[in-house]
Structure 1
């Protein structure tokens, strides 16, 4: 049985705690509690909340203030250089996909070929494909007119076809790089991106099926909604679009490149061989996404008739909307480094080892608690993965990737009134708060629990 179930920490190189266990636990609880309070009650921006929370943790733990500042700024800079660059490249790719009409091409091709009974499954597939490169909010805005149109033409509840699409979007957001959550957890826990990507897809497929088409059929009976007439005339056609094949190949390009490195690591397994070195370079997430963006400028940009200036403008326009995400994730890196340098993770690892707690279940529970408290999947991922840093020492590559996915599953749990996504879905679907909880919130919960279940099963064999 996997070592994940027993937390084999003996002999690992853990940070020496700066204070006793009680003081460190208190520091962590006070710091996390302050972050939750600042975000939820005082409505402070998460960037500032994470800075203040990180400083509080270090000071309460008894560290010198200058040492705390050094830890925070070091973690901030490292995260901005690594994770931040991936988020920026991913946003550029997604903007090119949307503005070129490539996303519309995927939607029209898949949905147009689906029969009435297969529409929920087609919508789940569309949500998953669109969700690979796009942030959840962008994908939702892009897909809502299509969800309206499909619901009206098929004469089925908006929820029946909408929930599967949302499940596909949300699962990709929680489990699959280059989304901020998985990429952040991969960076913090030093997980292998290719392996995590492969396992993330394995987890996402059954999870989307259960939380999407299957749960969507139930939710569509509980809440019956008609699509608003105002969207019937929504015009989504563009004069030129890249073909479906070219669009799909470009979307999957970074995924294939990153997976190729993981395959080469297994098949070749010789860092001195040229072929291994080549795959190590092109499969590096930064290089893979950079190649994908450059290719997309041709296939999406030139392929849809954009001029060079238009392509430049499109890429430039992708960056301002993600500025908030970049600074939040980077501040999360600073918060993580403070937790690591104070030795709180070491104390948590000692406790978990003595209690014989599954590291996967612990990772999921921590993410769930932060998600429920803050409403943010990104903050839940940052905080939970920060606490798990010392606990993954000694685990295999596959096991560390499963911890990343357990955190991702927990970060999706029960979106409710403190989550901006909750209100976005409510307004687009025209639902009451109660109806949104019965559909969207429960779908997120099913997604989270199913994801954990699949991760635990994989943990037995890895």
Structure 2
């Protein structure tokens, strides 16, 4: 029976993969069809299938929907006000031309915390190209560190959607995930960014010049100050980090600890940060209420797709649990003595390679692994989140939208993109996984 359930699960995952890559279905449709297939053929009663699916969708999106919306608004305000550009420009000035890769790494890493990968790329790419024109350096030397910083943060650090989804599915502690992920992400970004870029830029010389993307540039007087720009970016991180520290501050009254835990919860921390951004990056920079409302509405519309994918992933997870597949996989993984952290990394990696979507990979892998760890003791759920996120980054290729985004923005050929972006993503995945295994020894 266990082998039959496992075979049905594999077929369901293949349906997801074929749906996205071959039949060109939206990932939401693919995941939903796969969930129904798994439910029917695993013997789940027909009158329970829809309830199980809806329960799974609700359990994942219930805590995530506000975080996604508020994080997107914050990123939009950072982008349109020029605050992201101010942070990048600060690092370039402080580090100088010789240490540009390090300046660009820090720019990508810090700006990547509140914004999606694509938004961060749009914020920073004009700067990368203008530096390339001024210094005549190989664009890979400047661009790879930016990509590394943005990508690793997007893959494993909350409040990004993938990490927050995995936290909800695994029921991990958000504060600890934030702390551990930052500890792992920065050294990982150094290896995949400045170190790799210094090696690869001597071996790959792009055949054509990247075209400068036309963006509306603002004068220095119209930009928010560097201090305010840093404050807005780091505010949600600081508020959420306080929830990790507060329980250890014995001298604080109980009511103060409760307030800290409240304002440090992801939704409240991001809500506070959004209002801070509205004031400091909006009103103080001359935006009126109508413009701020317009920007908010513009950035929320594209969220529908990612919310649907994450919700369908939650439905898939619940079908896995209710049909008994989770227990079957748990029994088999115990027999082959595979560490849950290794298992999560491998499953996420395989789905990422097959579907091209880090979000689909992370959501589906977390759904598969969570029933396995439910019956185990001593599993570090926080590091499990990071290992799954690391796996979801590996081997980006032609079925990944990010592959084509980087190719076009950086002016690379397909072959050059494989040699640079694909290799960098794989380095990030395996280095982050390695650091996760090391940290698992000590925490």
- TM tier, shorter chain? over 0.9
Q: Does 1:279 align with 2:260?
A: yes
How far did 1:252 drift?
Answer: 0.8
Structure 2 equivalent of residue 257 of structure 1: 239
Q: Is the 8 A contact 1:93 1:296 kept in 2?
A: yes
How far did 1:281 drift?
Answer: 0.8
Structure 2 equivalent of residue 373 of structure 1: 354
Change (3 A) 1:110 1:395: farther
Structure 2 equivalent of residue 211 of structure 1: 192
Provide, for residues 58-105 of structure 1, a one-character-per-residue CA deviation record: whole Å limited to 9, x for no partner: 111110122111111111123222112211110011011111111111
How far did 1:377 drift?
Answer: 0.3
Alignment coverage as a number of residue pairs: 441
Q: Is the 8 A contact 2:70 2:271 kept in 1?
A: yes
Q: Distance in 2 between matches of 1:276 and 1:113?
A: 38
How far did 1:330 drift?
Answer: 1.1
How far did 1:155 drift?
Answer: 1.7
Change (3 A) 1:206 1:274: same
Q: Is the 8 A contact 2:394 2:428 kept in 1?
A: yes
Q: Does 1:94 align with 2:94?
A: no
Q: Distance in 2 between matches of 1:363 and 1:70?
A: 27
Q: Distance in 1 between matches of 2:407 and 2:392?
A: 20
Q: Does 1:337 align with 2:318?
A: yes
How far did 1:390 drift?
Answer: 2.4
Change (3 A) 1:396 1:267: farther
Provide, for residues 254-297 of structure 1, a one-character-per-residue CA deviation record: whole Å limited to 9, x for no partner: 11111111112344499x92233212211111111111111111
Root mean square deviation of aligned Cα: 1.9
Q: Is the 8 A contact 2:79 2:119 kept in 1?
A: no
Structure 2 equivalent of residue 346 of structure 1: 327
How far did 1:213 drift?
Answer: 0.2
Structure 2 equivalent of residue 438 of structure 1: 419
SS for the counterpart of 2:64 is: helix
Corresponding residue to 2:386 among 390, 393, 405? 405
How far did 1:365 drift?
Answer: 0.4
How far did 1:392 drift?
Answer: 3.1
Structure 1 equivalent of residue 224 of structure 2: 242
Provide, for residues 139-165 of structure 1, a one-character-per-residue CA deviation record: whole Å limited to 9, x for no partner: 112221111111222221011110000
How far did 1:226 drift?
Answer: 7.7
Q: Is the 8 A contact 1:158 1:226 kept in 2?
A: no
Residues 43-192 of structure 1 aligned to structure 2 (within 5 Å): 43-192=24-173
Please identify, of 452-461 and 333-342, the stretch whose mean Cα deviation from structure 2 is larger.
333-342
Corresponding residue to 2:395 among 400, 414, 437? 414
Structure 2 equivalent of residue 317 of structure 1: 298
Structure 2 equivalent of residue 425 of structure 1: 406
The gaps in structure 1 that reach 5 residues or longer are: 1-19
Q: Does 1:23 align with 2:4?
A: yes
Change (3 A) 1:227 1:190: same
Q: Does 1:355 align with 2:336?
A: yes
How far did 1:355 drift?
Answer: 2.0
The gaps in structure 2 that reach 5 residues or longer are: none
Q: Distance in 2 between matches of 1:213 and 1:335?
A: 39
SS for the counterpart of 2:224 is: coil
Over 6 Å off, 4+ runs: none
How far did 1:396 drift?
Answer: 5.5
Change (3 A) 1:85 1:232: closer
Please identify, of 66-75 and 118-127, the stretch whose mean Cα deviation from structure 2 is larger.
66-75
Change (3 A) 1:298 1:61: same
Q: Distance in 2 between matches of 1:339 and 1:138?
A: 34
Q: Distance in 2 between matches of 1:232 and 1:53?
A: 40
Change (3 A) 1:300 1:429: same
Change (3 A) 1:395 1:136: farther
Q: Is the 8 A contact 2:158 2:164 kept in 1?
A: yes
Structure 1 equivalent of residue 436 of structure 2: 455
Task: Give the TM-score normalised by structure 2.
Answer: 0.95
Corresponding residue to 1:221 among 202, 210, 213? 202
The structure with higher relative contact order (CA 8 Å, sep 6+) is: 1
How far did 1:227 drift?
Answer: 7.6
Task: Give the TM-score normalised by structure 1.
Answer: 0.92
Change (3 A) 1:229 1:389: closer
Q: Is the 8 A contact 1:27 1:58 kept in 2?
A: no
SS for the counterpart of 2:67 is: helix
How far did 1:181 drift?
Answer: 0.6
SS for the counterpart of 2:68 is: helix
